Homo-oligomer: A and B are copies of this chain.
Amino acid sequence: MTAYRTLDIEGWRAYLASTPDLASRLGGRSEGWQLREVSDGNLNNVFLVSGPLGGLCCKQSLPHVRVDPDWKMPLTRTDFEARYMRAVAPHVGHLMPALYHFDPDLHLLAMESLTPHRVLRGALATGVAAAGFSARIGEYVGRAAFLTSWRARPFEAVTEQVAAFAANTTLTRITVDLVLTAPYRAGCKRNHWLSPELDDIVGELQSDPQLASAVSRLQERFLTAPQALLHGDLHTGSIMVDGDDVRVIDGEFALYGPIGFDAGLYVGNLLLHAAANPGRLDWMCDEIETFWRHFERNYRTLWSERGRSGDIGALLDDSGQQQAQVAACHAIMKDLTGFAGLEMIRRTIGYAQVSDYDARPNRAERAEAMREALMQGRALILHAGRTETPGALLDLITL
């Protein structure tokens, strides 16, 4: 057992040189490897390494939040990221970077380096994202959700994973606080917003008993509906694209939960992008429909093929299975709608906001885009319980 230490560039060079599997992927002599830090998230250190034969992406947890050293945090988040990648790779391998190495002592992992991929949020901002990327995300969510669910596997295999990811409390606490609670609490110091422009609507969101009731139902869904293994943080910053090669990264928030949570975070981020870029509303609506179509096709096809391998639904005949699929998709869309609304609100007034709003040319227009996102978010949350189709969802946005 090696004592934990945070690796800097030379630390990584030495570590990789002494790890034959990784060194041989890079090739050549370690002095010649190129290393550069690409950490751009809040939590971890990330380095890209390249050698004559290939590249690696190297990620390590710190004993604190990267961007806030006073916020102490246990080191286990890469442990959960590695566990998540191993759990879903057999189902979605081609849509994720390959995991090459995990070191539980140093809490680091090494994976396939995605080049020349760009983070989707940035690719959208700079206009290099190719329309239709959502097809791959729909496929990803549909496959991961079905194949980690109770319909595909004996319950013993599922509860083992439920229990393992139940220990991911540090990052789940962040979701519970920052997504599901803080934005609706007046006076919570972790919120911030464009003030005074948004003061009135923030005040409304934080004193609306109907909204609080709907948010409470989503809290309950998040914590008490372990339908499938979730990514847990599936926003446009957790996706990298290169043309039609689309990959999901950063699964450290993984846990069992409602399928609509992953889907809703993703859709919420598309809607945030549309709010910040009104000229792209139609495009983003197309992406949402594409996402859902591919999600539903993958989820239902796998269910029809393998839906009697688990302990839920093994008694259903073909027509019972079809009916159950329709009901399940309606229920997932309800959850999706609510969680998309939560994401829009928390990314506009909560602790961790999105850069999409930088597309607005000035403060007044930014405020207007944010207000639009807040109102849409509220509508999604309040109407989630009767939103069963992508059409009904988009009506809430465009009507």
Contact = CB atoms under 8 A, between A and B. Distances in A.
Interface of A: 150, 155-156, 158-160, 162-164, 166-167, 169, 172-173, 176, 180-181, 184-185, 209, 212-213, 215-216, 219-220, 223-227, 311-317, 319-320, 323-324
A314 B163 CA distance: 25
Contacts of A315: 181, 184-185, 212, 215-216
Contacts of A223: 150, 155, 158, 311-312
- Of A164, A227, A311, the most chain B CB neighbours within 10 A belong to A311
Contacts of A219: 311-313
A213 B324 contact: yes
A24 B225 CA distance: 47
Contacts of A180: 311
Contacts of A158: 223
B311 A224 contact: no
A109 to B, nearest CB: 23
A185 B311 CA distance: 13
Contact of A226 (B184, B213, B226, B324): B226
Nearest to A314: B181
B185 A173 contact: no
Contact of A311 (B159, B164, B176, B319): B176
Given A224-B226, A225-B225, A312-B220, A213 B163 contact: no
Contacts of A311: 176, 180-181, 219, 223
A216 B312 contact: yes
B220 A320 contact: no
Given A159-B166, A209-B320, 4 more contacts: A155-B223, A162-B163, A219-B311, A226-B226
Given A166-B160, A317-B212, A155 B181 contact: no
Contact of A162 (B156, B162, B215): B162
A216 B316 contact: yes
B320 A213 contact: yes
Contact of A167 (B163, B169, B184): B163
A166 B169 contact: no
Contacts of A216: 312-313, 315-316, 320, 324
A233 to B, nearest CB: 17
